[in-house]
Structures are given as C-alpha cells and as structure tokens.
Amino acid sequence: MSLTNLALSYCTNVHPGRTVAEIEQGLDRYTVNVATRLGAPLAAGLWLADPVVKELLRSDTASRRFAEGLAARGLTCHTLNAFPFGDFHSPRVKEHVYEPSWAERPRLEFTASAARVLAQLLPAGCEGSISTLPLGFPGIHSFPNFHRDCVENLIDAALSLHRLEEESGHTIRLAIEPEPCCWLDETSTAIEFFKNRLWPRAEERGSLEAVRTHIGLCVDVCHQAVAFEDMKQSISDIERAGVRINKIHITCAIELEHPATNLEGRRALARYVEPRYLHQTKARLADGRVLAVLDLDRALSADVAPEFLNAERWRVHFHVPVDAERLGPLKTTRTDLRTALAAVKSLSYAPHLEVETYTWEVLPDRPAVDLVDGLTRELTATRALLGEISGPV
C-alpha cells in the first residue's frame, strides 16, 4: 500500500483562529501563499476551536459559505485538529490544552459538532479525520470513574459519527493522540486502553463495530519519539493490536546528547524554555530506563535529579521544523520521522498525513523567521521525504 494520495496538509493551529474571520485571514495570509510557493496541491488541516465550530453551525449557510471560500482559494480539507478546545494562542496554554477531558460532555459535544462541519467541507468520496486529546491530563483529570466516563463518551462519539455517515455519506474517523505525561502517553498505554477498556464496553453496548470503524489513533511522531519508542515497532504493535491509525502528525522533537557534560547543548536548550506550551522532557538512562519531567524548565533546573541529568540523552516535546536535522548543537528526531513514514507505507490503508509544527511563534529565532518561508520549507522537505519512501506524491 502506498502512502495517501491526498494533498499534503499542514495544521492551521500554527496561526490564530478564534473566529471564522480570523481563520480566513490566516488562510489568505499564510496558507494560500504557501500553496503558491509550494507549487503543488495543498490541504488545510484546519484547527477549529469550539467558538468557531459554533459560529459555523449557527446558520444553515455558514459552513457552506466557508467551504466555498476554501474552494475559491484552491484549498481542500480532509482533516481537523479538535485537540485544543479554546484559545491555543493565549499567553499561557500549558496543561489547559487538555480541558475539557473526554470524561466531560462538552468535549463530546464539541467533537461531534466539529465532525458535522467537516462533513460539509470534505471533497466528494473523501473520508475525514479528527485528531483529539489523549483522554486528559493526570494532574487535573484524576477523579473517580474518569476512565469509565471517557469510554462512555467515546462510544457516544462513535455512534454520532456513524449516524453522520448515514446522513452525509462521509466516513469521519476520530484519532486519539497519545502525548507524553498524559493518560495515554505511549503506544502501549493506548493499545491497552482500546483492548481492555474501550472495546469491551463497546461490545457490551452493542457498539463495537461503530467504535472500531470510527475511533483509532493519531500517531504524532514527535510525541512517540520523546518516549524513545522504536517507531517501526510502534506502528507494527498498533497494527497487530487491530487499532486503526487514522492520522499521522509529521513532527520532530529536540534531542540533547550527554546533557551532564554538554554545556553548549544545555545553553542552547535553555533558549527553548517559554511560557505558552508544555514541553515535557524525557531522559533515557544507560540501563534503558526512561524518566520524565513535566516541562523543560524543570529539566534544566539546578535541583533536577542527578540520575536525570546524567542520562545518555534527553528528548523534548517541542515541535521543531521538520526539515531540520540539527538546531545548532541540538539534534532533532527527523530520523524517527523517516522511520515512521516508511513503516506506515506497509499498512493496508493510508492514514491522513499532516505537518504540525505549531511552535513557530515561540521558537528562539522567531523574529528572523518568515512563517510562509518556514512552512514552505517544511512542506517541500516533507514531499521530498515521502517521495524517497514511495515515489512522487
């Protein structure tokens, strides 16, 4: 099986989108110009926050007008990012990006509404995907029956997507996205959730077919690389477990080798400490164990555990440009990205592919970077990488 033949997309959560008008401004200022420079078809991987979804569903014509606007710009859309519920560009996002969790009805209602919008944006005969959070964040979502409530809401989401398919003719699949230090943080915990929690309860409710059809995973390569996973093995494990991969986030993390003695690398890494997003950091020890701290500033603090400091290497959840092999004295996990995409090629179906570097505004060299240039470089490099793996895309 080859990789998807749909137009490559990048996620528009990289620029603000708190209203429909703001999203359209971003499409005009960035996406259209990127498509022109790329000289190839481009899909908008839209981030639609809850207020935007409500605005698009406020009247019968709003979504249709928005879809017509995409077409007039020469853009298509086959995937949404419904992970951030609210303002993803506020001064401090951090752990708030996980609210509301999948244990709460507003998350279900938001996702079902986003699917209704996507059904009106999809090209004829095209399936859709929606990425979403890894249930929630243990630091704020540890109340009794949390997992039970998540399961019930996810089954309800699958049933909602099944009804939408009957109404619209479009299959839309939810893609749960594991992330470091969350309830679903690694491939193994995600598989365990499907096999031991979600599927058994779906079978009890007579909804297993709908759940298997409409709920799977989003593999964000940065996230799994931070966990030091073998990407080929992870893709194989997911396939063998029977969980569908509905979406791949084409992303890279930061890697620092020998942090205890690499003073230049630690100084460079300190420039990536910033107040908006959470940058979970993991360390792999010589004996193979992996330790974690919740944010990069904690990894660099004077009181970090000696065992953590003396690790073989650190990896940081900071989405850096996917065309970069190195960032000065720091490495990136682009090798893992290449491995993951090659492994995806062996699947019997083609997950949606989306570049998701949302951190351009908080990169240390941001004042010197033009976003259109940066996105164009990422997409050009990604097309070349996909070409190496499977021929022209």
HSE, side-chain direction, 13 A CA sphere, residue 309:
14
Domain that holds residue 52: 9-252+333-390
**DSSP, residue by residue, 311-341:** SSEEEEEEEE-TT-SEETTEEE-HHHHHHHH
pLDDT for residue 393: 42
Sheet with 330-332, edge to edge strand ranges: 290-293, 281-284, 313-320, 252-257, 330-332, 326-327
Whether 263 is covered by a domain: the verdict is no
Helix (H, G, I), strand (E, B) or coil at 271: coil
Whether 169 shows a pLDDT value over 70: the answer reads yes
Largest CA distance in the chain: 61
- 176 sits in which H/E element: strand 172-176
- For residue 392, what pLDDT is reported? 45
Which among 212, 139, 146, 151 has a CA at the least distance from the CA of 180?
A: 139
| Residue 207 placed within a domain | yes
Which residue, 42, 46, 47, is CA-closest to 74? 42
In CATH, what number is assigned to the domain containing residue 233? 3.20.20.150
Half-sphere exposure of 198 (CA within 13 A, CB side): 30
Q: What is the pLDDT of residue 391?
A: 59
Report whether pLDDT(375) > 60.
yes
pLDDT in tens, 266-283: 999 999 999 999 999 999
pLDDT digits (tens, 9 = 90+) for 292-346: 999 999 999 999 999 999 999 999 999 999 999 999 999 999 999 999 999 999 9
DSSP string, 335-377: HHHHHHHHHHTTSSS--EEEE----GGGSTTGGG--HHHHHHH
Distances (CA, A) of 179 to 226, 321, 339: 9, 18, 19
Judge whether 133 lies within some domain: yes
Residue 136 lies in a domain: yes
Residue reference for tokens 């490099």: 381
| Mean confidence (pLDDT) of the chain | 96
pTM (whole model) above 0.95: yes
User: pLDDT tens across 36-57, in order?
Assistant: 999 999 999 999 999 999 999 9
Each residue's pLDDT tens digit, 361-370: 999 977 677 9
pLDDT for 1 beyond 70: no
Residue 303 placed within a domain: no
Q: How confident is the model at residue 143 (pLDDT cuts 50, 70, 90)?
A: confident
pLDDT greater than 90 at residue 2:
no
Model confidence at 390, in pLDDT bands (50, 70, 90)?
confident
Percent of the chain with pLDDT over 90: 96
Q: Does position 27 have pLDDT exceeding 70, yes or no?
A: yes
User: How many CB atoms are located within 10 Å of the residue 310 CB?
Assistant: 14
pLDDT, average across residues 351-361: 97
Report, as an integer, the average pLDDT of 165-179.
Answer: 98
Rounded percentage of the chain residues whose pLDDT exceeds 70 = 99
Q: What is the pLDDT of residue 339?
A: 98
Please report the pLDDT score of residue 60 as a whole number: 78
In a domain, 294, yes or no: no
Q: Indicate whether 320 belongs to any domain.
A: no
Region 99-111: mean pLDDT is 98
Cα 56 to its chain centre, rounded Å, is: 23
**Domains: count for the chain:** 1
Any domain includes 290: no
Amino acid at 314: W
pLDDT at 236: 98
